[in-house]
């Protein structure tokens, strides 16, 4: 069974990664180190989370070989130019204490500024010179993705907020049509209400798994990457253990049906999360 998604001919991303927002300082370092020791091989951070140095410390503390880890970060809108992106890269790798990134994302399109296509061009330069293995975007709507693709830059991945109640069907359909890998942030939702729904509770009982595992399984069985955050060691292990069972078509469809049609909450947190 596939536990990774392909981003480029020689680059695969593990389907489950550790989200690190809003952890900072020692909390972030300890959580990242613990997650790697629990088997995580994909860590997701961002300039905006103000925890890159701590995440880097956690990676070193774990003792893992850098080459065995898939590391993603994202840069703020102030770097939206071809040279700015290179500067953002330099600062991130310096804070993280690494030499390269597996994946670097435009964190937010900031269409009012209107320079996100240049940012993507800058990212492609970094792939071309080997600074990063792959690039992608986050929080891009179909119109923003289209603008990038019209500049002849196929977008490998878009990280957006997806959970069973906020599936963003039109957004995900666009990703599917254009071969864009979807990565889900806040994959368990922000209030956890659907973890109580029969469509989740039923399979959890039948399969002997937790509701969170059912929801994460739903994501990966749809071929999505998911980056749940947990600072709790047992929940970290639980969230990684979603490849030993499968949901039936009916069980998948019942979770799909939890879709409310409402957009995910766009507050100042989620904007840059
Ligand atoms: P905790 O860190 O105490 O485990 P995000 O939306 O940023 O991914 O946050 C996920 C939220 O869900 C966190 O508050 C996290 O809390 C909680 N969480 C993570 N994994 C689980 C799980 N397996 N079961 C229940 N809650 C979880």
Q: Residue 266 above 70 pLDDT?
A: no
Residue 132: asked if its preceding bond is cis (omega within 30°), the reply is: no
Output 253 or 271, whichever has higher pLDDT.
253
Q: Residue 270 above 50 pLDDT?
A: no
Cα angle value 72/176/215 (rounded, 5°): 65
Residue 104's beta-bridge partner residues? 73, 135
Tell me the ipTM for this assembly: 0.97
Q: Is 97 left (phi over 0), alpha (psi -120 to 50) or beta?
A: left
Q: How many domains does the chain have?
A: 1
Confidence at residue 263, expressed as pLDDT on a 0 to 100 scale: 81
Note the Cα 242 to chain centre separation in Å. 16
Lowest mean pLDDT among 130-139, 206-215, 224-233, 260-269: 260-269
Query: Does 49 participate in catalysis according to the annotation?
Result: yes
Confidence at residue 1, expressed as pLDDT on a 0 to 100 scale: 66
The residue range of the domain holding 114 is 4-272
CA distance 201 to 84: 47
Residue ID of nearest Cα to ligand 1 atom 2: 230
146 in helix, strand or coil?
helix
Confidence at residue 269, expressed as pLDDT on a 0 to 100 scale: 42
Per-residue b or e along 117-149, where b marks 16 or more CB atoms closer than 10 Å to that residue's CB: bbbbbbbbbbbeeebbbbbbbbbbebebbebbe
Confidence at residue 140, expressed as pLDDT on a 0 to 100 scale: 97
Tell if the pTM clears 0.90, that is, is over it. Answer: yes
Percent of the chain with pLDDT over 90: 89
Q: Residue 191 above 70 pLDDT?
A: no
CATH number of the domain that 85 lies in?
3.20.20.100
Residues near ligand 1 (Cβ within 6 A): 19, 21, 186, 188, 190, 210, 212, 228-232, 235, 238-239
Q: How far is the CA of 125 from the centre of ligand 1 (A)?
A: 36
What pLDDT digit, counting tens, does each position of 143-169 carry? 999 999 999 899 999 999 999 999 889
């Amino acid at each position: 069974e596939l536990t990774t998604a392909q981003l480029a001919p020689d680059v695969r991303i593990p389907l489950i990664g550790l989200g690190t927002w809003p952890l900072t300082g020692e909390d972030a370092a300890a959580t990242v180190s613990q997650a790697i020791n629990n088997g995580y091989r994909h860590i997701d951070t961002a300039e905006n989370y103000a925890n890159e140095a701590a995440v880097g410390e956690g990676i070193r503390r774990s003792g893992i070989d850098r080459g065995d880890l898939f590391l993603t970060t994202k840069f703020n809108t102030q770097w939206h130019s071809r040279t700015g992106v290179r500067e953002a890269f330099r600062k991130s790798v310096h804070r993280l204490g690494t030499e390269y990134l597996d994946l670097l994302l435009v964190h937010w399109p900031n269409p009012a500024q209107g320079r996100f296509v240049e940012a993507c061009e800058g990212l492609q330069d970094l792939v071309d010179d080997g600074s990063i293995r792959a690039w992608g975007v986050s929080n891009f709507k179909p119109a923003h993705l289209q603008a990038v693709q019209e500049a002849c830059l196929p977008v490998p991945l878009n990280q957006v907020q997806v959970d069973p109640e906020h599936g963003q069907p039109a957004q995900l359909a666009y990703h599917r049509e254009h071969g864009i890998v979807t990565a889900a942030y806040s994959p368990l939702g922000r209030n956890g209400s659907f973890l109580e729904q029969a469509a989740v509770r039923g399979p959890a009982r039948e399969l002997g798994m937790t509701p969170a595992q059912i929801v994460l399984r739903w994501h990966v069985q749809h071929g999505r990457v998911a980056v749940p955050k947990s600072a709790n060691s047992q929940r970290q292990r639980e969230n990684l253990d979603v490849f030993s069972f499968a949901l039936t078509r009916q069980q998948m469809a019942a979770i799909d049906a939890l879709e409310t049609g409402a957009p995910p909450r766009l507050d100042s947190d989620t904007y840059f999360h």
